[in-house]
A and B are shown apart, each in its own frame.
Chain A
Amino acid sequence: MPTPTDAAGTQPEAAASFSPSDTPVIKFVDVEKRFGDNIVLKDLNFEVAQGERVTLIGPSGSGKTTILRLVMTLEELTGGYIYIDGQPLTHENRDGKRVPVSKKDQKKLRTRIGMVFQQFNLFPNMTVLENIIEAPIHVLGQSKKDAIAKAHSLLEQVGLPDKADSHPSSLSGGQQQRVAIARALAMDPEILLLDEVTSALDPEVVDDVLNILRQVADTTNVTMLIVTHEMGFARDVSHKVMMFDGGHVVEEGHPDKIFTNPEQERTRKFLSAVLGH
């Protein structure tokens, strides 16, 4: 089981970046998110270091997915600040005033962030290969040749080397999700957001997808923010687990501690419910 100390052995960069002097890759400052009158997140502060893998757990409606969607700019931030590599993502604090950042700056930051969705969201009007190379070519400006070569190696990595010319509709859910992972990785993201990526899958293919993500976690230095109900996976890959309830962090810590000996009664209750103890 990889722990921060294990990671230090195999990934010196990642280990070095855990020192507190470094700029965190993701930093939430007094984040508030409300949908109308419904406050989903309030006064949320946390940091994620480079290469760190953080899993958010908690009951549904606790705001975990909203956090990922805020980082991906899929939801509008209604209060506070989010910093990516120290730069403001949506708003910045200018002399105490909260002002929106320019679209251009936001786009530049956003290309460093990738996301895999619960519902895969592959583009049905494109083949698997086209899905993967579309953004690297037209957003990052890679040459078509390079993008295709990379796409093929990614398809190999996710175990679908012969599906490049298939249409998403002809693939199973598990296969579609693996393509979606390849599509996100093709952008070389610094941060990968995984939003309940196995929740829509048949139980027998869940492990295939999780094993691919374990492999990505082991072989790259990508920072991951994960929302999942797969507690075994969370325990395997994360450096830190954060337990949410009602938009607040109830408890956070090393997965071994959270899963075996949580301090908070709320965490204990939640874990026993999901683990079926």
Chain B
Amino acid sequence: MEFFEDWPQYFEVAINWSDRLLAGLWTTVQLTLFGGILAFLIAVTLGLLAGSPNRWMRIPARILIEFFRGISLVVLLFWLMFVLPQIWMRNPDLPLRDLVYNTFLLGVIALGLNYGAYGAEAVRASLTTVASGQWEATTALSMSWPHKMRRVIFPQAWALMLPSLSNLWIHLLKGSAIAYIMPFVSDFTAELNQLRRPTDIWFSHAFIGLVVYFILALILTLFMQTLEARAKHKLGRGPSLKEILSPAPKAIPSEAPATARNTESTNMAGPGAPAKSPSEGGAR
């Protein structure tokens, strides 16, 4: 069995990282971070507009959400990478030439648009899940729409949308591997793929790929769970971060495990999970 005789050699590469692999990893991290930030901004903007009572805000937002949610990320990348630059090639005088030729930036934009559209649904759904009584109380206090959104509704929806956003961010991380089709951008997957060609130790590279994406996803998950615990504590549900992290769990008899279970179950619900509809305020 050649494989088992050679296996120490297969795994040597796990320790012996090349600079290119590290550079690829760094590109993946950057795509995930910048793409995630852009996706978040798009998600919040479109999500708020899509939840607006004003149809002139709601309908355009809905169109954008459905469009960018519906198109394939690969096809979107092809358009941005190979179709868009042709316009500038034929008209060299057009402005923003540098931006259009910056494939990394285009990659970030594609990830941001695609996952931002998904996230917008999560944002909109969480806003409708905030108890109708909270909206009514803000009206009774004559708060303006931006005011009630910023100070009352969004902080409560925030705790509800985090599990979905966390899911999407992990999707985005893994979706960033699509960058290997992008010219001049070599992400982690692209570098792994490069290594496959001249070497016969593809097995261990594939293994590294598996582990590295898993660890990155784990870091994102832990970060988002921290945010969620903090958000819940601010709403008076669940322990504070300090209590969670303290070695002696005496301050959190029953609530902490409940919170943890909660997080997991909502995580599994995912971005497409239907939001609880707000209780209808009917005639009383």
Contacts and interface: CB of A to CB of B under 8 A. Distances in A.
B283 A73 contact: no
Contacts of A60: 284
A121 B136 contact: yes
A140 B144 CA distance: 11
B143 A135 contact: yes
B143 A139 contact: yes
A75 interface: yes
A107 to B, nearest CB: 6
A87 interface: no
Contacts of A66: 283-284
B227 interface: no
Contacts of A170: 236
Contact of A168 (B236, B281, B282, B283): B236
A61 interface: yes
A138 B143 contact: yes
A110 B142 CA distance: 6
Interface of B: 131, 133-134, 136-137, 139-144, 147, 151-152, 155-156, 234-237, 281-284
Contacts of A183: 141
Given A167-B236, A170-B236, A184 B284 contact: no
B136 A74 contact: yes
Given A60-B284, A66-B283, A66-B284, A117 B133 contact: yes
A123 B133 contact: no
A139 B147 CA distance: 9
Interface string A9-50: 000000000000000000000000101001010000000000
- 5 A-B pairs closest in CB distance: A169-B236, A65-B284, A135-B141, A121-B137, A121-B133
23 contacts: A65-B284, A66-B283, A66-B284, A74-B139, A74-B281, A110-B142, A111-B142, A115-B136, A117-B133, A122-B137, A123-B137, A124-B156, A124-B236, A125-B152, A125-B156, A126-B151, A138-B147, A138-B151, A139-B142, A168-B236, A169-B236, A184-B140, A187-B142
Contact of A114 (B140, B151, B152, B237): B140
Interface residues of A, number: 40
Q: Considering residues A74, A114, A168, which has the most beta carbons from chain B within 10 angstroms of its beta carbon?
A: A74
B133 A119 contact: yes
Interface of A: 33, 35, 38, 40, 60-61, 63-66, 69, 72-75, 107, 110-111, 113-115, 117, 119, 121-126, 134-135, 138-139, 167-170, 183-184, 187
Given A117-B137, A125-B155, A35 B283 contact: yes
Contacts of A107: 142, 144
Contacts of B133: 117, 119, 121
Nearest to B237: A169
A135 B142 contact: yes
Contacts of B152: 123, 125-126
A170 B133 CA distance: 19
B243 to A, nearest CB: 14
A126 B235 CA distance: 8
Contacts of A115: 136, 140
Contacts of A122: 137
Given A107-B142, A115-B140, A75 B236 contact: no
B259 to A, nearest CB: 14
Given A63-B283, A187-B141, A125 B234 contact: yes
A3 B234 CA distance: 46
A114 B139 CA distance: 10
Given A61-B283, A61-B284, A121-B134, 19 more contacts: A35-B282, A65-B283, A69-B281, A72-B139, A72-B140, A74-B136, A107-B142, A110-B142, A114-B141, A117-B136, A117-B137, A121-B131, A122-B137, A124-B236, A125-B152, A126-B152, A134-B151, A135-B143, A139-B142
